[in-house]
Structure 1
Amino acid sequence: MHIHYLQHVPFEGIGSIQDWADRGGHTVSRTRLYAGDQFPAIDRFDLLVVMGGPMNIYEYSEYPWLKVEKGYIKQVIEADKAVLGVCLGAQLIADVLGGPVVDGREKEIGWFDIKRSAEVADHPLALFLDDQCEVFHWHGDTFNIPPGAIHLASSGVCDNQGFIYNDRVVALQFHLETTAESAAALIENCAGELAEGGAHIQSGAEMMADGARYAAINQRMNRLLDAMAATLN
């Protein structure tokens, strides 16, 4: 299987997804939007991963490639490809499917629980989650669930933490790919957001205190990727 990912900033890569690919003998390539890389032909990959970033999906003047990226994501989905979106990536997918992206009630940064939606309890692409589990968050915006999509999960301050579309597309507002190293990069490069403070904004020290948490979410990502890969067979 070949995985291609869309990267929006140098400090936010695919984290543990690379480890999963390496163990399974899968190949990986990327488009660095910030560097002006071109998009590959859609038939060149099996799974598209759309990663996160600190920008808003409507900041076209500062990031003109966002419009082109949205068009590309739409083409990939219409081609019935497997697509995984993480944080900003999930918001981009929601937008192209008709689910508006809006400001969240408050920023959610750090380790907080989510609850899986009852309607996906038996869905093969939702079994990577328990009914309630802890995941890593770093977002301020949120999305509405697009028409035809199935609601995946919610948290105390964010009703829409993910969705599944057409049994091929999974969008996660939260992070499961984050490693201790990638979290440290986020803390270093997005320190201004932590300085804002808030009931659901943890300190860098709190986020880095327990390395076992990263291993736990990475295992959930492995289970999701296994399930998505199974849909390609």
Structure 2
Amino acid sequence: MTVSKTILLITHEETVASDYGYVAEYLTELGHTVLHHEVLKATPAYDGFLDANTDFPSLDGLDAVIMFGSFTHAYNPDTRPWVEREIEFIRSVRDRGTPYLGICFGAQLLAEVLGGRTVRNDRMEVGMISFDTTAGCPTAPGPWFSWHNDKVELPDDVEILAQNDYAPQVFKAGNSLGVQFHPEVTKELMDEWLRVGGDELTGTLDAAEFRRQWD
């Protein structure tokens, strides 16, 4: 019997599709209570970024926190002020001992909390990917959905559980886990990302091939 937990999901740039994909439905089916905090708002009529809401809920009563991806970059000077507030929130999650899962952007901010950093790579990693895993890795080696052009650089005391020739893909410190890929993606969410940010793929992978890989 699953013991019910209360889990906070933190998303960015939510549009017409739920930015947490499969995760909320899966957790609810397991009997958990899901709370949602949206940092940025984007709509079909307005895809620009509005003011960031970094007034996160209290950690009291939370059993875990999951932070999802973003179209911004951890090092972007235009968004860095609210990114730093998110980093401090993640730090407080770790200080409290609350389990944390960071996905893509959420993993990159975790890397900073752990003493690492996020840097721009010389190419995009997009489409379905696979990677090498260690015996302790909690994920399969792939295929997984990926869309990013950044990578984390981690200090030696962070355990890298999976990587490929592009970047570390899964890493762990205590009860905090970061994954660079997107395990949450649904077809609806993928189509929405293509609508909002598909121009970023020009010259790397066209939308038809992107969808073919998914299918």
TM norm. shorter chain > 0.5: yes
Alignment of 1:183-198 (within 5 A): 183-195=190-202, 197-198=203-204
Alignment of 1:22-33 (within 5 A): 22-33=28-39
- 8 Å CA contact 2:119–2:151 kept in 1: the answer is yes
1:45 corresponds to 2:62: yes
- 8 Å CA contact 1:60–1:67 kept in 2: the answer is no
Which residue, 106, 113, 128 being the options, matches 1:111? Answer: 128
Alignment of 1:214-229 (within 5 A): none
Write the distance in 1 (CA, Å) between the matches of 2:88 and 2:54.
15
- 8 Å CA contact 1:6–1:32 kept in 2: the answer is yes
* 1:174 alignment partner, SS class: coil
1:34 corresponds to 2:40: yes
Structure with the higher helix share, 1 or 2: 1
- 8 Å CA contact 2:54–2:82 kept in 1: the answer is no
Write the distance in 2 (CA, Å) between the matches of 1:17 and 1:73.
19
Using structure 2 for the length normalisation, give the TM-score: 0.85
Q: Which moved more, 1:79-88 or 1:24-33?
A: 24-33
Q: CA deviation at 1:147?
A: 4.3
Alignment of 1:19-168 (within 5 A): 19-35=25-41, 36=53, 38-62=55-79, 64-116=81-133, 118=134, 121=135, 123=136, 126-129=137-140, 132-156=141-165, 158-166=166-174, 168=175
What value does the CA root-mean-square deviation take over the aligned residues?
A: 1.8
Residues 99-146 of structure 1: CA deviation (Å, up to 9, x unaligned):
111111311111122121x3xx0x2xx2332xx421111111110124
AA aligned to 1:4 is L
Q: Where does structure 1 lack aligned partners over 5 or more consecutive residues?
A: 213-233
> Percentage identity across aligned positions?
27
Which residue, 6, 29, 41 being the options, matches 2:10? Answer: 6
